[in-house]
Amino acid sequence: MSAVIYGVLSPVSYANSNPCPYTMWALVDAHHFYVSCERLFAPRLKHRPIAILTGPQGCVISCSRDLKNELSLAIGTPLFKVSTQLKAKNTVLLRPNFELYGDLSSRIMQCLRTLCPEVAVYSIDEAFLKLTLPQAVMCAMNSDPLAGNRYYRTQAQTIAQTVLLETGIPVGVAIAPTKVLAKLAMRQVKSAKNQPSNPSKHCIVLSSEYHLNKILQDTDVEKLWGIGKTSAKKLARSHIHSAYALKNTPEAHKRFGVVIGRIALELSGKSCIEIEHGSEDQKQILCSKSYPKRLQNYEQVKRALLLQLQRATKKARALGSKAHLCTFFASGSVYSPLRSPYAPTHPTAHATFSIPSASSDPIYIGEMLQHLLKKQISSELKDGAFYRIGVILSELHNEKILINSIDMFTRIGQDDDRKELYNTMDSICMRYGKQAISLGPKTLYSSSPQSSSSKQDFALCSDDLERVNSELNLEMSRSNINPRHWQHLPQVY
């Protein structure tokens, strides 16, 4: 068997040529995915070092390759620890745009499904593809053992080139007999010092026993996919420090459990982690936010909860689901200066209530939420202020199934009457930003309760829908920017 690294056959592998497996796993990984998304719509940043943060003074969640290699910048590093080094490198600091990242991720996965029928989405920037040799290639391998390797090499390059052409995102492709070996091969792609300038050649086909054993000997067991620090310590006590040692461990499933046993089998080339066909329907939605300024009165907490409720119900409508239960919570901090020194714990308020008729209507659910909210937080605010607010919608069911289970006590028609209203609001927020329109006051913090109560809650009326839709369509037609999300350009701090 032979190994293909960046599309070039290794001459050493020809000495141990054997037919490759008929079925292989391909791991497609978009390297530095968030950075690639930002550079796609801001070409001026192509040769600039980039770091994407959680907030103005937050942590690094993604960075360009040069920062990772030269500064050894790890994901999750606080900004204040590396601010001096980043300034010296003239680094561009960006806010994350998760809506853009999610949309591009969906496009990549859709592109992969056109290339391979069996695709398992692993994360926002990773997916496994199950590749099988065509019958013609299998027959050709009788006279040419390397025909299968050339086919997989061509497939890897085709996948990388197609994704780059259709989405603009460069990806790496690693092909190996099992999923664990494919993850290990991808580490070789990422750790290579001299990568080719053409991103479509970031490919590796790992099928040679010689190269495989060499890589396993150089790989620490804690770097394997599926093995954490606790499992690594457990293996170290049995003098298993490398992936090669784990591969040759007899009866690993009896000594270390089923999970490590499967990893050992995968290292031996036996695929036992099959592809996942589809996924179960989502049963819960959580939307929460931590605020830099503490929420010190009822009005502020109510507004914050209504904003999170609006986010949660929007996600439920996108899934075509309705909720039977709603939970809201508000928590404070033990370090709050407003907290009484005699208070046993930090202030916390939470409540769960059932929704008589399953709904994704924020107005309907918000009325019940406000009814319980006053009782829950009045006493807690005496011991401090809240800083984290959240809403959980649970027991989600598909609205098509709920239609078939309507009884005489079910609330009917209210959600459908407001469906056009929420569709219009979602379109406005998609075009002008998440906070362009909401069901409550725009300002969360106010100088006094009197000033906050003077601001009236607002919502679109059904009479305004036609006018708003026409104005929105006119504005979109005048703009050369795609109305979905292309308006989200990088914002430099």
Lowest mean pLDDT among 355-364, 440-449, 480-489: 480-489
Highest mean pLDDT among 317-321, 324-328, 408-412: 324-328
What average pLDDT does range 454-465 have in this prediction? Answer: 38
Single out the residue of 216, 192, 203, 210 nearest to residue 5, CA to CA: 203
The mean pLDDT value of the chain amounts to 75
> What pLDDT band is residue 372 in, cutting at 50, 70 and 90?
confident
Residue 16 has pLDDT above 50, yes or no: no
Strand order, beta sheet including 172-176: 8-9, 3-5, 203-206, 172-176, 23-29, 126-132, 119-123
Q: DSSP letter at 26?
A: E
Lowest mean pLDDT among 155-164, 337-346, 443-452: 443-452
| Residue-level pLDDT at 34 | 93
Strands 3-5 and 92-94: unpaired
Q: How far apart are CA 420 and CA 416, in angstroms?
A: 8
Q: Which residue has the higher pLDDT, 297 or 304?
A: 304
- Report yes or no: 200 and 161 within 8 Å, Cβ to Cβ: yes
Q: Which residue has the higher pLDDT, 491 or 222?
A: 222
- Report yes or no: 80 and 40 within 8 Å, Cβ to Cβ: no
| Residue-level pLDDT at 437 | 74
Where do the DSSP E strands lie in 14-69? 23-29, 50-53, 60-63
Residue 109 has pLDDT above 90, yes or no: yes
Q: How far apart are CA 5 and CA 205, in angstroms?
A: 7
Residue 376 has pLDDT above 90, yes or no: no
- Report yes or no: 305 and 373 within 8 Å, Cβ to Cβ: yes
- Report yes or no: 353 and 326 within 8 Å, Cβ to Cβ: yes
| Residue-level pLDDT at 401 | 65
Q: How far apart are CA 110 and CA 20, in angstroms?
A: 28
Query: What confidence tens digit (pLDDT) does each residue in 250-295 have?
Result: 888 888 888 888 888 888 888 887 766 555 678 889 988 877 777 7
Query: What confidence tens digit (pLDDT) does each residue in 389-437 have?
Result: 899 999 888 876 655 555 555 555 455 667 777 778 778 877 777 667 7
Tokens of 158: 């085709």
Q: How far apart are CA 216 and CA 184, in angstroms?
A: 9
Q: How far apart are CA 184 and CA 188, in angstroms?
A: 7
DSSP H or E segment with residue 321: strand 321-332
> What pLDDT band is residue 489 in, cutting at 50, 70 and 90?
very low
Query: What confidence tens digit (pLDDT) does each residue in 68-81 have?
Result: 888 888 888 888 88
Query: What confidence tens digit (pLDDT) does each residue in 81-106 have?
Result: 888 888 888 888 888 888 889 889 99
